[in-house]
Structure 1
Amino acid sequence: MKISARLALFAIVVTLAYLGLAVWGMGGFAAFFSHAPLVVVVLATLVMAIASLFTEVNLSSGEREDRANRWVLPAFGVIGLLSGFLPAYTDRIDFWTFGGEGVRWLGVLLFIIGGALRLWPVFVLGNRFSGLVAIQPGHRLVTDGIYRKLRNPSYLGMLITAVGWALAFRSGVGLLLVALTMIPLVARIHAEEALLRAQFGNEYEAYCSRSWRLIPGIY
């Protein structure tokens, strides 16, 4: 089973709205697409959005959910709206920007790498990958492949993508928004780990002892 039609439509609308905010922030299509790195960012975003339509990501509360963590969804939404517009806008007015086209291309590279890392685990987990903190029917712990040493590779991919987006606009404000994202993200990680620990007990504890939570060698 693939992503539901309703969720697919939502993903498409959000993607186009996000890109639209960036185009608006840059002052229109001509200004935005005058930068080759930003053209590549748009193409990469569309490819990622299309790829996501072939995943089994869902919003199912499954057999067991930590409903107290749902506050992170609107938090991510607000930060996402700001990230869509502000980096592009600060780029246009040259507020707290740095570097030149080299920084933009570095951002493109990170954006693509982060996007791949974000989507890879989604395909690995299948219908166990929910937008909610929940245990799905038939849920089992995955500790091999991309999860062997890293417990939250998709979240790391999300952060790398966000940094890449900010750098594509040479935006210091964009990097601050990435730092702000860490607040709901860390809360989400702790909620997920608490639920997995309760579900899988010693098996999960053993996995934690030999893996990193988010950034290898650091956290």
Structure 2
Amino acid sequence: MGLISVVAVALYLGLAVWGEGGMSAFAAHPPLIALALITVALTVAALFSSGNLSSGEREDRGNRWVLVGFGVIGLLSAWLPAYTDRTGFWVVDGEAMRWAGVILYAAGGVLRLWPVFVLGRRFSGLVAIQPGHTLMTSGLYTTIRNPSYLGLLIMSVGWALAFRSLVGVLLAALMLVPLVARIRSEEALLHQQFGAEYDAYRARTWRLVPGLY
């Protein structure tokens, strides 16, 4: 999984540089340099986690289509915001917006990655029950059942704003489609595995945003 992560991030940043018009154009904006450095730092940190792509003891294979959805939206999000930034199409003016995006991206990245370390081998890129799987209901999971997914959404919005791209913000919103499908699949599998214990936990928590969803 480490090699896959490194290749994916290299491709992601490469598409952004291409969309921005090349390395010189990309590097001309300090917030974008910061964005790239944060991306590399998060990737290196992720290499020390136990996150995996294991199908474990039981997997909902019917949910694998969301990986394609994430992949397509991810590739578009890597290139299109940078392209609209370069062409000036539907962008928000100001370096302050870029820095706000960088801050959001960094905060979302930490929120995305922290649960990977907390869950350890239980964190899989697939919807699956791992050996010795137990429910996590403390810490970040006391109120929100999917903090890592919330982090992913915040990262996506932050990335778009770093390029001043409203098109990128729409792509971040579009990510909700496969994300919600994945959440529902996970909830169904966890209900099958833990029954009343999971139902009680679900009843007192929120999927992503307290008071909203």
> Would you call these one fold, judging by a TM-score over 0.5?
yes
Cα distance in 1, alignment partners of residues 7 and 202 from structure 2: 37
The C-alpha deviation readout for 1:94-119, integer Å capped at 9, x for no partner, is 00101310110100000000000000
- Which residue identity lines up with residue 11 of structure 2 in the other structure? A
String of CA shifts for 1:115-139, please: whole Å, max 9, x gaps: 0000000000000000100000000
What is the aligned counterpart of 1:27 among 21, 35, 38? 21
In structure 2, how many angstroms separate the alpha carbons of the residues matched to 1:76 and 1:189?
A: 13
Identical aligned residues as a percent: 65
Distance 1:41 1:175 in 2: 16
Report deviation, 1:9: 1.0
- Structure 1 consecutive aligned stretches of length 4 or more whose deviation exceeds 2 Å: none
Q: Residue 73 of structure 2 aligns with which residue?
A: 79
Q: Using the alignment, how far apart are the partners of 2:152 and 2:210 within structure 1? A: 15
Are positions 1:88 and 2:88 aligned together? no
Deviations 1:144-179 (A, max 9, x none): 011111100000000000000000000011011011
Selected match of 1:102 from 96, 101, 111: 96
Give yes or no for the alignment of 1:49 onto 2:43. Answer: yes
Distance 1:88 1:188 in 2: 28
Distance 1:38 1:95 in 2: 18
The answer to whether the aligner puts 1:185 opposite 2:183 as a matched pair is no
Partners of 2:4 and 2:128 in 1: how far apart? 21
SS in 1 for 2:126: coil
CA distance in 2, matches of 1:66, 1:43: 35
Q: Could you say which residue in structure 2 is the equivalent of 1:129? A: 123
* 2:54 alignment partner AA: S
Aligned position for 1:161: 155
Equivalent position to 1:201, from 195, 210, 213: 195
Deviations 1:57-89 (A, max 9, x none): 111111111000000001100111000000000
| CA distance in 1 between partners of 2:194 and 2:140 (Å) | 19
Residue-by-residue CA offset, 1:26-72 (whole Å, 9 max, x unaligned)? 00111101111111101100000000100111111111110000000
2:159 is the counterpart of 1:141: no
Answer yes or no: is 1:216 the counterpart of 2:210: yes
- Point out where structure 2 has 5 or more consecutive residues left out of the alignment: none
Name the CA distance, whole Å, in 2 between partners of 1:114 and 1:179. Answer: 15
Q: State the TM-score, normalizing by the size of structure 2.
A: 0.99
Match of 1:4 in 2: none
- TM-score of the superposed pair, with normalisation by structure 1: 0.96
* Number of residue-to-residue matches in the alignment: 213
AA in 2 matched with 1:138:
G
Instruction: Find the aligned partners of 1:168 and 1:77 in 2 and give their Cα distance.
Output: 21
Paired letter, 1:72: V
